[in-house]
């Protein structure tokens, strides 16, 4: 969404401390002062209006209207917002003013958010090749409302979408920033336990000693990881182990955003790490923001304790020239 908060229905953000709320009239006057101020400025659509996105949209929605295909095709009007969305990347068009408004509501205890509704108005059809720009404004902040979720304030933003400089439509998006009526206590979630059996018990015994053990076939000397009961190369069931040096590189990786799992805080990076010995292991890349993980990045093994019973091998980016770990942010 453009100039709009990242909304997860029913999600609550806990704050260690909150300021004492000002008198209601004074507080609402401060909120009203944000009306008419920009929420996003000079936004530019990441892609021009294009046929592949139109086709994917129509397939997903089951819309077979012939107006959306052929040489004179237009985009479905309800795609208006799709051309302004920034995906999971940073939104440079979003203003500090909008963040100030949300911070003010958070600090007053209205720190939960839920999307409530949106409405669109179409003024001009969008066609493949159109370049989209947009601006958003904080159109209104309601007075204090009481809902089943809790008490709070409805914040409405209006986004004006232009094609080649001509107003094509408007998109109003409304959220409720509220203080939850009930804050159920959340149980402490534990990470899933690894499945330990007779085929891999030696690996986990090595982890307990802070060793990353690689199996080695005693017949053909082939290394293998993860552990297996027999050699993939020659079929021999006989093996010993080699302790990994801990040096490696990111061979590939994914960033986990959804779905959420208990005890994990998305987004976080999961890497396929190629060890110096030539085998690969799946593990977390820690110590840097997920957006800085790159294929080919040098990493070094470390062992991280997650609770009294669980310790896992993870990998931290490493600067080979300086021979120092890379600390550029808080890792997962």
Q: Each residue of 145-177: pLDDT tens digit?
A: 999 899 999 999 999 999 999 999 999 999 999
Q: Is the pLDDT of residue 133 over 50?
A: yes
Residue 285 DSSP one-character state: B
Q: Is the pLDDT of residue 10 over 60?
A: no
Per-residue confidence (pLDDT) for residue 7, from 0 to 100: 46
Residue 41 CB partners (closer than 8 Å, separation 6+): 93, 95, 135, 136
CA–CA gap between residue 310 and residue 204 (Å, rounded): 10
CA–CA gap between residue 156 and residue 258 (Å, rounded): 27
Residue 319 DSSP one-character state: E
Nearest CA to 54 out of 37, 66, 36 is that of: 66
Contact 130, 82 (CB under 8 A): no
Q: How confident is the model at residue 184 (pLDDT cuts 50, 70, 90)?
A: low
The pTM of the full predicted model, rounded to 2 decimals, is 0.53
Per-residue confidence (pLDDT) for residue 92, from 0 to 100: 75
Q: How confident is the model at residue 22 (pLDDT cuts 50, 70, 90)?
A: low
Per-residue confidence (pLDDT) for residue 27, from 0 to 100: 92
To the nearest whole number, what is the mean pLDDT of the chain?
87
Tokens linked to 254:
């994914």
CA–CA gap between residue 43 and residue 29 (Å, rounded): 29
CA–CA gap between residue 148 and residue 203 (Å, rounded): 51
């Amino acid at each position: 969404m453009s100039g709009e908060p990242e909304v997860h229905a029913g999600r609550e953000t806990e704050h260690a401390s909150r300021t004492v709320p000002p008198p209601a009239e004074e507080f609402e006057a401060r909120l009203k002062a944000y009306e008419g101020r920009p929420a996003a400025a000079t936004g530019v659509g990441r892609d021009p209006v294009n046929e592949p996105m139109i086709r994917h949209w129509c397939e997903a929605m089951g819309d077979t209207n012939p107006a959306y295909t052929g040489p004179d095709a237009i985009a479905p009007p309800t795609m208006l917002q799709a051309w302004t969305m920034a995906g999971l990347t940073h939104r440079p068009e979003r203003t500090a003013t909008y963040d100030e408004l949300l911070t003010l509501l958070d600090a007053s205890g209205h720190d939960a958010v839920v999307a409530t509704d949106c409405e669109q108005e179409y003024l001009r059809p969008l066609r493949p090749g159109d370049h989209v720009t947009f601006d958003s404004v904080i159109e209104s902040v309601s007075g204090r409302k009481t809902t089943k979720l809790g008490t709070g304030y409805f914040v409405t933003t209006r986004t004006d979408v232009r094609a080649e400089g001509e107003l094509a439509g408007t998109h109003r998006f409304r959220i409720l920033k509220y203080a939850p009526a009930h804050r159920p206590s959340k149980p402490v979630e534990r990470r899933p336990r690894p499945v330990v059996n007779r085929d891999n018990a030696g690996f986990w015994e090595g982890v307990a000693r802070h060793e990353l053990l690689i199996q080695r076939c005693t017949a053909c000397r082939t290394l293998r990881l993860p552990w297996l009961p027999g050699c993939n190369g020659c079929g021999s069931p006989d093996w010993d182990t080699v302790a990994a040096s801990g040096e490696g590189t990111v061979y590939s990786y994914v960033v986990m955003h959804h779905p959420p799992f208990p005890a994990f805080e998305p987004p976080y990076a999961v890497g396929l790490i190629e060890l110096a010995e030539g085998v690969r292991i799946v593990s977390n890349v820690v110590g840097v923001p997920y957006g800085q993980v790159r294929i080919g990045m040098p990493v070094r093994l470390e062992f991280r304790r997650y609770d009294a019973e669980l310790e896992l091998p993870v990998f931290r980016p490493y600067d080979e020239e300086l021979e120092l770990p890379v600390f550029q942010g808080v890792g997962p």
